[in-house]
């Protein structure tokens, strides 16, 4: 069986952490208070009041109190889910005990916060038996406070080799009668601590890419019906790098990412949404370049590729390679160098077209897209064909289901979504599938 | 223990699917009939009458009948193995029941097809317990029809995270007394549905590369004595891309690939065979270029590297880098930039040489290869040495064992193989190892 | 719990194999004798008298005798650990029996070698039950010779898919009462035989990169408290390639590597140590270039990037891209293209700075580094900031703990380490953390 998803959200784009108590401020909960008022694209899908690494160890008892106070006051208005991170460590019972105590305090219904809290994030978990300890503490907290059993979601930060291995066992372990691991919600990578645990080193001290960890996290999430979220991207000024990381992640099925600032939240909330307008990419001698649209034609403006007419044919130069081509060959060659990035409108249109074809008894249809590409003033008409069958349709559904999940769960983003796509596209996207 | 291989074929290059019933044709079995007559390099190692995704859902009962009819008529002449794909889904008992019924019908010996069928392909499997359900249905089919227990091979399409995880357990599960998983034969990746299951997205809608999935499939196959096969390559016109994918796959130990057309079958049947003639590759500033043979010398004809004599020495330019070298340094530098791709003749020769050395009591010998390389008219003699020991010999044996497996199992390809390599090389290749 | 490390060394840089008996020499133990006298950077952390692949099968009984003789004579003076490799094969009881007999002979305390031997290396292991057989043979050898139970370390060579899978089970299996797998010490990849076992092929016969295997080895080591070591790098003359492989490995947490020659030992002993002097790297249109230090400024001398003043601003060309920038934008752009590689002195300084900040109650501080970068004679002052928190500090600790482990265990390298870093830096490095 496919794993059942047990939570409201099926997709998470953003996991935004805030320090719970900052020393030396008049109001130590200042950062929490400011995060609690975020709305629209600046507000994350998941807000994580972080009573672990973002908060100094000496401030964490106060941090737990701040969480209660701020969430009780602002939680009902906050548009995303709220999942505080408490302290935990596979190697240290003292830390685990403290995390347990913080959860108990935060979850006391008399104090008015737990009504707005969706679950807790447990860092530094070890192997699966360690995950079960955290699960049991949540069960006890639910029991003590009369909360519905299993109602507190549990998310973990995967930052050790042990935890990476544990993700392969989730599907089996989640069915066992002596735990409530069905409360699991997100698997979040924590690459800084993982790098330490793996004892990895790079010359500059930058983090390794860890592609296998991210694959295994995404796979573990898929097999167990959970949501995969990548760890923090430290270089806050490097917006381009953050976007590239997210593009890589999405190709792995890891659709969410940690955000350290409201600016990163905006970038990460938008990144997985298909663009408003489709466009063509050209492989210009190994570098991917977006073609500029000009009056319905797509123009390459760089000098890595050049094209000229010559004796009835064409000479195409790509880097150091030169080819003499006739018109048909030129179109073939340019088709091979280009790829189309569909807009939301394009995707919804293709899906509707396939649905109609299916209705009419066809199993597979060809989708065509024609465009005029211009290099050095010379125009060429190219046509890309793609066969769509049920599997293609299902795979194309992912960005649409993501959109639908956002639209249903984040009314505070409706205006921005409508502004981006237009009423019509939004409505069609909500009705397809 | 190494896993025992339980089937006739130890290697599979090609896995060719045909729709079993096409609507709107006079003869709905037309595609099956045409595939059944393929011979030689156009005929796949494994032919898969595809009663799942390639055939519209409404045509699948008729498809099962068509399989019986066409295989009964043409099966005895077909040069490859025949493994129909039936419907299956880990999440849907109705689909599994239908797959079971189709297998029962196809396997009825009275109808004359099962005698030529080697097994079935089961798509959309889930975790290992789901695999066991398919195995049990085959056991029942064998029992009902008086077939030898375990005689029907079972191959699965890995297109979910669950199934990817299951491959790590095969070695252990295949020994258990309450299943007959020893019937397992091929592990076939299905990247389109896998992409959906992982909820992955790319900007253009193209498939992610999934290197880890392919590694894990190859590893699972190796640990359990099975055969790893990659999924379909959609862009049928992109022959170069298909070849590159196969080269990557072979470096992962995944020697087989899905073929969608007879043209892809030819390409995939030939791709894993060592070339007829060896040649040198040159790393021309990051681009790999094949040197042109000219009267025993190997000539670089591009302009990414240039070489000239200067004051008794040489100036070598590679892209933007320039070096002044003496003759010895030039040879060293060119040796570092080049690699030799051995022909089948070269490989068989090296193996025979090592076998003779081993006979004479030596554990390791140096294999040398000298060639004249020409850049900008200047000749340099280069000599590449490689130490061969038992492990090198064993690893070099893989393409030879592949060749031997083909030669033994595919008499219909003898003429083409002899035409490619010559009688002498074929004979030596069959006798080495 | 984190896995406890049960052995003296927590880090291994070098795993150096020597043939145990060479035919046709006056003294068949000549290679062993020469290896036994290596000292300082030429001496490996782990010396492996190799009674398997490096030694002809007919010479292995004599090889076992040679190990006893040479280690009894030179072992007490040898600065690294000594772990002979014996024969073993998952598929062949005869080979396993022979390995057992060789261990018994080598471990006889009367003969004076075992006192200097730290453990054995077992090649060609299969799944976990095969590892247990080798473990049991060592238990029997310890019992027979009155050695302390568990005192012989066991290291394995991972050169099959089965063994790769087994590494995921170590953490669980090592706690079980009926084995002594706590004796496990190193997980060593053996890519040549692994390539054979996976049936992988490359056009040139070169080894595939196997990034997933190396990840899984490093992960298995981390989860079970063991040490990951990469396999042999065959192209002995390619020092640059060997260094690049080690840089890649370190980013995976695989800090050790096989060495085939004393030259490779020197390279591999030095490679994981932070440099004596920090330096800047520049991304010059896709190629990473080290800037030349000149009187405190860092100068780019190539022509892949060019810079000129123009009308009060600057024109920066990177490959084919050209940008007009003001002074602030130029600094931003150059900062984005550069990365600093810290020296040991830099690392120790940053750690001490963070320790002091922590003492003062701060959880995170910004570390800044300013430098003058020069391109085409134009100077720009750039400042890189990095936030350090507890996790950053812990991750930066890895090279320092490696250094400390070396310094404590390898007094024969003290002079070279002091010469490299200076007394002061060595002393500070030993006291930090």
Q: How far apart are CA B225 and CA C153, in angstroms?
A: 31
Token pair 């990414």 is found at B304
Residue C321's pLDDT is 79
Candidate list C389, C405, C412, C415, residue with the active-site label = C389
Q: How far apart are CA A402 and CA A409, in angstroms?
A: 11
Which two three-digit tokens encode residue A32? 């929490």
Q: Are A108 and A86 in contact (CB under 8 A)?
A: no
Which two three-digit tokens encode residue A167? 């993700």
For residues B164, B166, B171, B172, the Cα torsion angle rounded to the nearest 10 degrees is 160
CATH topology classification for C397-431: Methane Monooxygenase Hydroxylase; Chain G, domain 1 (1.20.58)
**Residue of chain C whose Cα is closest to the Cα of A206:** C339
The predicted model gives B167-191 an average pLDDT of 96
H and E: helices and strands count for chain B? 15, 18
Q: How far apart are CA B306 and CA C64, in angstroms?
A: 54
Q: Which of A162, A203, A205 sits opposite C223 (nearest CB)?
A: A162
B319: contact with A, CB 8 A cutoff: no
Q: Are B137 and B181 in contact (CB under 8 A)?
A: no
Q: Are C274 and C342 in contact (CB under 8 A)?
A: yes
CATH architecture of C14-270: Alpha-Beta Barrel (3.20)
Give the orientation angle of helix C414-421 with respect to helix C390-409, to 10 degrees: 130
Dihedral sign for Cα atoms in the order B234, B240, B245, B249: positive
Angle at Cα B297 formed by Cα B299 and Cα A321, nearest 5°? 15
What's the gap in Å between the CA of C354 and the closest CA on chain A?
13
Q: Which of B250, B320, B341 sits opposite C200 (nearest CB)?
A: B250
Q: Partners of B308 in the beta sheet? A: B315
The predicted model gives A287-297 an average pLDDT of 90
Q: Is C389 a catalytic residue?
A: yes
- Best to test chain C binding among A18, A193, A201, A215 (most C CBs inside 10 Å): A201
Which two three-digit tokens encode residue C166? 């087994």
C251: contact with A, CB 8 A cutoff: yes
| Three-state SS annotation for C248-300 | HHHCCCCCEEEECCHHHHHHHHHCCCCCCCCEEEEEECCEEEECEEECCEEEE
Q: How far apart are CA C277 and CA B150, in angstroms?
A: 67
Chains that touch C (3 or more CB pairs under 8 A): A, B
- Residue C160: its chain B contacts at CB < 8 A? 2, 222-223
Q: What is the ipTM of this complex?
A: 0.94
Exposed / middle / buried, residue A164 (Cβ in 10 Å: 0-12, 13-18, 19+): buried
DSSP percent split of chain B into helix, strand, coil, nearest 5: 45, 25, 30
The β-bridge relationship of strands A184-189 and A153-158 is parallel
Q: How far apart are CA C183 and CA C151, in angstroms?
A: 7
C223: contact with B, CB 8 A cutoff: no
Q: In CATH terms, are B14-270 and B399-431 the same topology?
A: no
Residue A279's pLDDT is 93
Output the CA–CA distances (angstroms, integers) from residue C373 to A236, B321, C298, in the order listed: 23, 22, 5
B234: contact with C, CB 8 A cutoff: no
Output the CA–CA distances (angstroms, integers) from residue A220 to A15, A50, A240, B125, in the order listed: 19, 24, 28, 17
pTM as predicted? 0.96
- Residue C58: its chain B contacts at CB < 8 A? 361
Residue C381's pLDDT is 93
Helix (H) or strand (E) holding B352: helix B344-359
Q: How far apart are CA C338 and CA A205, in angstroms?
A: 13
Q: Are B154 and B88 in contact (CB under 8 A)?
A: no
What's the gap in Å between the CA of B330 and the closest CA on chain A?
24
**So where are chain B's domains?**
14-270, 279-392, 399-431
Ramachandran region, residue B333 (left: φ > 0; alpha: ψ -120 to 50; beta: rest): alpha
Residue B23's pLDDT is 85
- Residuewise pLDDT in 10s, chain C (433 residues): 555 667 889 999 999 999 999 988 899 999 999 999 999 999 999 999 999 988 988 999 999 999 999 999 999 999 999 999 999 999 999 999 999 999 999 999 999 999 999 999 999 999 999 999 999 999 999 999 999 999 999 999 999 999 999 999 999 999 899 999 999 999 999 999 999 999 999 999 999 999 999 999 999 999 999 999 999 998 888 888 999 999 999 999 999 999 999 999 999 999 999 999 999 999 988 888 999 999 989 999 888 899 999 888 999 998 777 889 999 999 989 998 999 999 999 999 999 999 998 887 777 788 888 999 999 999 999 988 887 888 889 889 999 999 999 999 999 999 999 999 999 999 999 999 8
List pLDDT tens digits, range B211-263: 999 999 999 999 999 999 999 998 888 888 999 999 999 999 999 999 999 99
Tell me which CATH code domain B399-431 carries: 1.20.58.1560
Q: Residue A175 — very low, low, confident or very high, per pLDDT cuts 50/70/90?
A: confident
C212: contact with B, CB 8 A cutoff: yes
The β-bridge relationship of strands B292-294 and B287-290 is unpaired
C199: contact with B, CB 8 A cutoff: yes
The gap from C-alpha B75 to its chain's centroid, in whole angstroms, comes to: 23
Largest pairwise CA distance in chain B: 86
Which two three-digit tokens encode residue A330? 């030129």
Instruction: Check A223 against B160: CB less than 8 A apart.
Output: yes
Count CB atoms within 10 A of the CB of residue C74: 17
Q: How far apart are CA C242 and CA C239, in angstroms?
A: 5
Helix (H) or strand (E) holding B39: none
Q: Which of C53, C57, C304 sits opposite B391 (nearest CB)?
A: C53
Buried-exposed string A283-295: b where 16+ CB fall within 10 A, e elsewhere: ebbebebebeeee
Helix (H) or strand (E) holding B433: none
Strand order in the sheet with C365-375: C292-294, C297-300, C365-375, C378-388
pLDDT at A40 over 70: yes
Residue A4's pLDDT is 63
Token pair 């009267």 is found at B295
Q: Residue B385 — very low, low, confident or very high, per pLDDT cuts 50/70/90?
A: confident
Angle at Cα B124 formed by Cα B121 and Cα B125, nearest 5°? 85
Q: Are C186 and C224 in contact (CB under 8 A)?
A: no
Output the CA–CA distances (angstroms, integers) from residue B133 to B88, B103, B147, B228, in the order listed: 10, 13, 19, 22
A218: contact with B, CB 8 A cutoff: yes
**Residue of chain A whose Cα is closest to the Cα of C222:** A198
Strand order in the sheet with B305-310: B305-310, B313-318, B321-325
Residue B273 gets which letter from DSSP? S
Strands (E) across B278-332 are located at 279-284, 287-290, 292-294, 297-300, 305-310, 313-318, 321-325
DSSP percent split of chain A into helix, strand, coil, nearest 5: 45, 25, 35
Q: Which of A161, A196, A302 sits opposite C395 (nearest CB)?
A: A196
Q: Long-range contacts for B312-318 (Cβ within 8 Å, ≥24 apart)?
A: B314/B378, B316/B375, B318/B284, B318/B285
């Amino acid at each position: 069986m496919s794993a059942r998803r047990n939570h409201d959200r099926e997709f998470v784009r953003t996991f935004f952490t805030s320090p719970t108590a900052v020393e030396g401020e008049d109001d130590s909960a200042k950062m929490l208070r400011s995060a609690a008022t975020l709305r629209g694209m600046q507000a994350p899908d998941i807000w994580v009041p972080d009573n672990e690494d973002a908060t100094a160890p000496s401030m964490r008892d106060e941090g737990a109190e701040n969480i209660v106070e701020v969430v009780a006051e602002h939680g009902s208005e906050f548009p995303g889910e709220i999942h505080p991170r408490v302290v935990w460590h596979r190697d240290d019972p003292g830390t685990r005990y403290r995390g347990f105590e913080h959860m108990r305090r935060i979850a006391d219904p008399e104090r008015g916060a737990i009504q707005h809290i969706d679950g807790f994030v447990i860092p530094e978990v070890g192997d699966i038996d360690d995950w079960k300890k955290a699960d049991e503490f949540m069960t006890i907290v639910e029991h003590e406070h009369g909360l519905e059993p299993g109602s507190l979601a549990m998310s973990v930060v995967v930052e050790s080799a042990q935890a990476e291995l544990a993700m392969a066992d989730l599907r089996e372990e989640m069915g066992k009668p002596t735990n409530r691991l069905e409360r699991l919600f997100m698997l979040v990578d924590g690459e800084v601590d993982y790098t330490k645990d793996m004892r990895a080193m790079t010359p500059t001290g930058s983090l390794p890419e860890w592609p296998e960890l991210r694959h295994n996290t995404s796979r573990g999430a898929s097999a167990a019906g959970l949501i995969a979220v990548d760890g923090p991207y430290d270089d806050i000024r490097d917006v381009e790098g953050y976007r590239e990381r997210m593009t890589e992640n999405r190709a792995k099925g890891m659709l969410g990412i940690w955000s350290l600032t409201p600016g990163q939240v905006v970038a990460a909330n938008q990144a997985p949404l298909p663009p408003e307008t489709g466009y063509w990419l050209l492989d210009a001698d190994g570098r991917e370049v977006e073609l500029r649209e000009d009056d319905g034609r797509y123009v390459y403006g760089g000098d890595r590729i050049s094209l000229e007419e010559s004796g009835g044919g064409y000479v195409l130069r790509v880097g150091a390679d030169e080819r003499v081509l006739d018109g048909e060959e030129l179109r073939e060659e340019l088709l091979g160098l280009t790829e189309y990035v569909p807009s939301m409108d394009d995707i919804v249109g293709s899906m509707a077209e396939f649905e109609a074809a299916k209705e009419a008894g066809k199993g597979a249809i060809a989708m065509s897209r024609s465009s005029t590409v211009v290099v050095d003033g010379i125009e060429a008409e190219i046509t890309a064909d793609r066969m769509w069958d049920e599997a293609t349709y299902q795979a194309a559904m992912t960005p649409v289901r993501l959109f639908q999940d956002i639209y249903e769960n984040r009314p505070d983003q409706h205006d921005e979504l409508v502004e981006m796509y237009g009423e019509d596209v939004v409505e069609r996207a909500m009705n397809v599938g």
